[in-house]
Structure 1
Amino acid sequence: MGWVDELPHVLWAFRTQKKTSNLETPFSLMYGIEAMIPAEIGVPFARTLSVIENEEELRLNLNLLEERRELALFREHNYKRQLKKYYDSRVQVCKLYAGDFVFRNNEASGQEPSGKLAPTWEVPYRVKEVLSKGAYKLEKLDGIEVPRT
């Protein structure tokens, strides 16, 4: 059995953990309240008693669920915008021009057999033409254009 037995526990942990991006749990966004573990239901905690006894509060939470989801969506967009800003501030753009020498990744072209001891890069190529948005036409050093670049 192994990992199959652990799957419900992993799913429970994922669904009840607050996400960094929106500060909400998937469970609470689905059902409108925070999940309770079975041990909480059996023991009379203040939170357990208030949720179980107060039907009106549960209905109100369901009515406000759409607003809560929209707020979580807003937070998630804001979080992603901050991540993009952080990434963009640290990325270094490398511009190539016609005539520059480059290496091509062997995995992308599949020219050489791949494996643990296979070469990572192919022989140097020359940039023949700069197309757009990081696309280039390459040629071998003897002037023969390389297909599919």
Structure 2
Amino acid sequence: MPFSLSYGTEAMIPTEIRVPSPRILMINDNDKELWINLDLLEEMRDLALIREYNYKCQLQKYYDSRVQKCTFDAGDFVFHNNEAYSQERPGKLAPTWEDPYKVKEVLSKGAYKLEKLDGTEIPELGMWHIARLTVNYLFLACAPID
């Protein structure tokens, strides 16, 4: 399929050249067939693009049905993944999630600005993507209700 999309004809294997096949026997009409294949090349490419788009839509639909969407609001308590900025791995038994933090500001497209629980900003961390954050259920359960 990729060969025909690039060159406008199907590839021939050496065995097909040695053993007479209808394709080889019609060698005189081959030029005419090649021109017909070239005329249909754009249509083949369009059909391949449509199939690719349909496949990607099916993948996205499957992914969206399996993934739980999670968003945070300002004031939510979260853990952040400490593997994102540490230079050396502390070991496989080290905790993956680090310190409870509070979401200070919701930025665009899944980015969040965090602060420590006492309200001080964290300049070295900057923004955090939602993939690096998880809900802190312990603090959520212990937090006073306003």
Partner of 1:120: 96
Alignment RMSD, CA only? Answer: 2.2
Counterpart secondary structure, 1:124: strand
Relative contact order (alpha carbons < 8 A, sep ≥ 6): 1 or 2 greater?
Answer: 2
CA distance in 2: counterparts of 1:49 and 1:88, whole angstroms: 52
Match of 2:40 among 41, 60, 64: 64
Q: 91, 106, 121: which one pairs with 2:82?
A: 106
CA 1:131–1:73: 2 relative to 1, 3 Å: same
| Structure 1 stretches lacking a partner, 5+ long | 1-24
Q: Does the residue aligned with 1:123 lie in a helix, a strand or coil?
A: strand
Does residue 46 in structure 1 map to residue 22 in structure 2? yes
Structure 1, residues 51-102: CA drift from partner, whole Å, max 9, x if none? x442211111012111211221122122212222222222211121222222
More strand by proportion, 1 or 2? Answer: 2
Q: CA deviation at 1:115?
A: 5.7
Partners of 1:114 and 1:142 in 2: how far apart? Answer: 28
Q: 1:126 to 1:64 in 2, by over 3 A?
A: same
Q: TM-score, normalising length from structure 1?
A: 0.69
Aligned-pair identity in percent equals 67
Question: Does 2:119 align with 1:143?
Answer: yes
Which secondary structure state, in structure 2, belongs to the residue aligned with residue 103 of structure 1?
A: strand
What is residue 77 of structure 1 aligned with on the other side? Answer: 53
Bigger CA radius of gyration: 2
Q: How far apart are 1:107 and its partner, in Å?
A: 3.0
Secondary structure at the counterpart of residue 83 of structure 1: helix
Secondary structure (helix, strand or coil) at the match of 1:114 reads coil
Q: If the length of structure 2 is used for normalisation, what is the TM-score?
A: 0.71
Instruction: Work out the number of aligned pairs and report it.
Output: 123
Mark the runs of 5 or more structure 2 residues left unpaired by the alignment.
128-146
